[in-house]
């Protein structure tokens, strides 16, 4: 995602005063979404968006809709002619009032605030610092300067809308795990697979540490694009495609799966199949780093992996998130 894509309307299409817009927002029940969007769209030349409520805390990686919770409708109008804008807002309130009279479910209060395109496009970037993981992996947001230390492995990253900034504990656990693998000497030249690559942060990090070839899949096309862009940005090759398991190429020496517990359980068998089997002795098999495991779900994930023939080598935890480093010892 670039800056232009984050503003609601291109400045040359609208008539906003120096990129200032009025944002109208309102919460409403799912059943009223269509009618409320329609009413807001009459006032808003800058477009209307519907934000569905998702759970992101418990299972922070895979958003799932919260059934029955209200949606937020946002609409934008240029703040150039305030008299016209105020009239449009008054009309919107009136129409919403009529709607409430007929709707069975309640509609929230219409909120109005001023937003500035520039703040908007860059606000999130302020919360994204240069971050260090383990002793030498560093994520450097593309818009920040950083003076590298001699041993640093620097991942230049612009995650855009894809998951994988390094701000989330589950990603951090994977990067620390990657560094540990590198310290064990098993990353250089290792065939590597990243299931659910998001921004590509893990695949790119592995490639920078010498893993090759590196394959990545993600069900989300935005993530695939982000992975490709971040690989190019770092001058490494990651073969990214849209999809999931099973995968034809493989098995791989190293596999990352930073997904959620429920998906790890569901994919335990095909995931284990992507890991190179050893000769039956400890230390001879390929490795899987499974992350995104909310602590309550850990026993379930462990059972699924054990049944799929994987052995836990190491466990790490940050806050309530757990990662498991597993080996496929083989027959
Ligand atoms: N690897 C990154 C991103 C993890 S977020 C990191 O460690 O930060 C999880 C990603 O997995 C998301 O981009 C999501 O789109 C993707 N995903 C979710 N379920 C998937 C599945 N069944 N197969 C492949 N990708 C999946």
- pLDDT digit string, tens, across residues 239-269: 999 999 999 888 999 999 999 899 999 999 9
Of 291, 292, 1, residue with least CA distance to 159:
1
Question: Cα angle vertex 240, ends 236, 265, to 5°?
Answer: 120
Question: Which pLDDT score, from 0 to 100, does residue 144 have?
Answer: 86
Q: Determine what percent of the chain is predicted with pLDDT higher than 70.
A: 85
Question: Which pLDDT score, from 0 to 100, does residue 54 have?
Answer: 60
**Alpha-carbon gap, residue 17 to 19, rounded angstroms:** 5
Task: Give residue 320 CA to ligand 1 midpoint distance, Å.
Answer: 19
Please report the atom of ligand 1 found closest to the CA of residue 223.
13
Of 169, 187, 175, 182, residue with least CA distance to 132:
175
Question: Which pLDDT score, from 0 to 100, does residue 66 have?
Answer: 65
Residue of 1, 56, 61, 193 to mutate, ligand 1, most atoms within 8 A of C-beta: 61
- Does any ligand 1 atom lie closer than 6 A to the CB of residue 163? yes
Residue of 157, 196, 271 to mutate, ligand 1, most atoms within 8 A of C-beta: 196
Q: How far from the centroid of its chain's Cα atoms is residue 141's Cα?
A: 15
End-to-end CA distance of the chain: 45
- Does any ligand 1 atom lie closer than 6 A to the CB of residue 77? no
- Does any ligand 1 atom lie closer than 6 A to the CB of residue 174? yes
User: Which residue's alpha carbon is nearest to atom 22 within ligand 1?
Assistant: 244
- Does any ligand 1 atom lie closer than 6 A to the CB of residue 227? no
- Does any ligand 1 atom lie closer than 6 A to the CB of residue 158? no
Burial of 167 (0-12, 13-18, 19+ CB in 10 A): middle
User: Which residue's alpha carbon is nearest to atom 6 within ligand 1?
Assistant: 164
Burial of 47 (0-12, 13-18, 19+ CB in 10 A): middle
Q: What is the pLDDT along the chain (331 residues), one digit of tens a residue?
A: 333 333 333 333 344 455 788 889 999 887 788 889 899 988 887 677 777 666 544 333 444 556 677 888 888 888 888 888 899 999 999 999 888 776 556 788 899 988 877 666 666 676 677 888 888 999 998 988 888 889 999 999 987 767 777 777 899 999 999 999 999 999 999 999 999 999 999 999 999 999 999 999 999 998 999 999 999 999 999 999 999 999 988 899 999 999 989 999 999 999 999 999 999 888 899 999 999 999 999 999 999 999 999 999 999 998 889 999 999 998 8
- Does any ligand 1 atom lie closer than 6 A to the CB of residue 200? no
Write out the two tokens for 32. Answer: 């009223």
User: Which residue's alpha carbon is nearest to atom 16 within ligand 1?
Assistant: 196
Question: Which pLDDT score, from 0 to 100, does residue 103 have?
Answer: 58
- Does any ligand 1 atom lie closer than 6 A to the CB of residue 196? yes
- Does any ligand 1 atom lie closer than 6 A to the CB of residue 224? no
The answer to whether residues 171 and 164 touch, using CB atoms and an 8 Å cutoff, is yes
- Does any ligand 1 atom lie closer than 6 A to the CB of residue 201? yes
Q: What is the pLDDT of residues 181-209, one digit of tens each?
A: 999 999 999 999 999 999 999 999 999 99
């Amino acid at each position: 995602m670039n800056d232009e894509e984050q503003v609601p309307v291109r400045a040359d299409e609208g008539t906003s005063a120096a990129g200032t817009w009025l944002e109208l927002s309102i919460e409403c029940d799912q059943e009223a979404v269509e009618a409320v969007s329609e009413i807001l769209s009459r006032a808003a030349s800058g477009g209307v968006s519907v934000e569905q409520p998702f759970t992101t805390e418990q299972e922070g990686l895979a958003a799932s809709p919260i059934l029955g919770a209200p949606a937020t409708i946002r609409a934008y109008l240029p703040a150039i002619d305030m008299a016209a804008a105020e009239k449009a807002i008054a009309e919107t309130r009136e129409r919403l009032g009529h709607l409430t009279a007929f709707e069975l479910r309640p509609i929230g209060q219409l909120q109005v605030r001023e937003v500035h395109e520039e703040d908007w496009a860059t606000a999130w970037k302020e919360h994204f610092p240069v971050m260090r993981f383990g002793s030498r992996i560093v994520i450097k947001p593309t818009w920040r300067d950083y003076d590298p230390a001699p041993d640093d492995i620097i991942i230049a990253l612009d995650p855009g809308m894809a998951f994988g900034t390094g701000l989330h504990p589950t990603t951090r656990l994977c990067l620390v795990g990657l560094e540990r693998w590198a310290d064990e000497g098993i990353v250089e030249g290792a065939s590597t697979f990243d299931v659910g690559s998001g921004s590509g942060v893990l695949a790119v990090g592995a490639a920078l540490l010498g893993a090759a070839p590196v394959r990545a899949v993600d069900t989300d096309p935005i993530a695939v694009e982000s992975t490709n862009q971040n690989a190019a940005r770092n001058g490494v090759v990651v073969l990214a495609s849209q999809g999931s398991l099973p995968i034809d190429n493989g098995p791989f020496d190293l596999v990352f799966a930073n997904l959620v517990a429920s998906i790890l359980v569901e994919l335990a068998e095909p995931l284990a199949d992507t890991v190179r089997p050893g000769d039956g002795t400890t230390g001879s098999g390929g490795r899987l780093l499974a992350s995104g495991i909310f602590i309550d779900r850990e026993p379930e994930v462990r059972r699924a992996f054990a049944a799929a023939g994987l052995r836990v080598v190491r466990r790490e935890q940050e806050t309530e998130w757990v990662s498991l480093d597993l080996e496929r010892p083989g027959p």
